A = this chain, B = another copy of it.
Amino acid sequence: MDFSSDTSAPAHPSVIEALARVNTGMEGSYGNDSVTARVRTLIAQTFETDDFDMWMCASGTASNALALSLLCPPTGAILCHAEAHIERDERGAPEFFTGGGKLVSLSGDAARIDEQALRDALASIDRSFVHETPPHVLSLTNLTESGTAYPAEQIKHYAALAHEADLTVHLDGARFGNALASTGATPAQMSWQAGVDVLTFGLTKTGAIGCEIILLFGKSRAKFAELQARAKRSGHMPPKMRFLAAQAEAMLRDGLWLTLAQTANTQATRLANALCAQPNVALRYPVDGNEVFISLPDPFADKLQKAGAKFYPWPGNCYRFVCAWSTTDAEMDALVEAVAG
């Protein structure tokens, strides 16, 4: 009954098996290997396009920061939600990688940017006013930090507003699969078809060891050489890239990543339902993925913890429960029992 975090989960066995499978003989270093080439093909299939460049990275923080450093100059700013991971949980990585760029926080319920807040921010940009730092990028997150999802149409709408104002669009997809699973969108619909210029496509929380893929779509591909240079210089160009690629291959083959994301989502819904059946329990945010933010009476929370359930109190006067691909029915049954007990 460990609902502490999907980053505490193990990797899916297929991922480990893939590592063993590619561990034979010599392979080109730094991405010049046969496994990476196969991943490119899988990405093309998954995203239904060939108009992309990709870079694999073990770290979600670095993937976001590298992506943003391509889109935002040191003298520019990035619009994001006040609760965004890049703003709150990456120890200034975007500022570091951009060389001193600035994050500008936007408000909005449930970690989703409010449309009016976005419109106001875009309308107030005056690129001729040298004293203020003008936004160059809109960074969205899906799933958001509150476990909610933007539908693909909203991403598309926001991206269009951003593009009109000459901003580019980054999507932090650390839990991209969970957002797809709950909204029913395809990877293409939630990314390049929605106007996303650069996607951080996360597989770590979904079931890999550590594997995120930075995807440059369309015009942003012009930045690919710069991405490689920046990856190298930040220590995100592993010589034995085949082992990152093997993780990606295992996850992408036959849509394993989506299956795993769906599993985590399903367990989260069961969990939310089980808890909400109790008195004085209320969801803090809608459950659109594998995370449940929920208000519990303190004695009830205590009881669950004493029964062995692991979960954390969260800012906003609630608790966070996270399900992972590895959350079992047995765990869910145990929780249901603890709830009832």
Contacts and interface: CB of A to CB of B under 8 A. Distances in A.
A20 B30 contact: no
A220 interface: no
A196 interface: no
A94 to B, nearest CB: 9
Q: Is the interface of A mostly helix, strand, loop or mixed?
A: loop
A257 interface: no
A130 B232 contact: yes
A194 B204 CA distance: 40
Contact of A209 (B4, B11, B103, B243): B243
A19 interface: yes
A238 B229 CA distance: 21
Contacts of A89: 131-132
Contact of A100 (B8, B27, B99): B99
A234 B133 contact: no
A301 to B, nearest CB: 19
Contact of A7 (B29, B75, B229): B29
A102 interface: yes
A47 to B, nearest CB: 23
Interface stretch (A54-62, A164-172, A267-275, A280-288): A54-62
Contact of A233 (B9, B11, B96): B96
A128 to B, nearest CB: 9
Interface string A27-64: 11110000000000000000000000000011111110
A208 to B, nearest CB: 9
A91 B20 contact: no
16 contacts: A10-B26, A16-B16, A57-B235, A59-B237, A60-B239, A62-B236, A74-B92, A91-B131, A91-B233, A92-B133, A102-B103, A105-B105, A130-B237, A205-B239, A210-B238, A235-B235
Interface of A: 2, 4-5, 7-11, 13, 16, 19-20, 23-30, 57-63, 65-66, 73-75, 77, 88-93, 95-96, 98-103, 105, 130-133, 204-205, 209-210, 226, 228-230, 232-240, 243, 310, 326
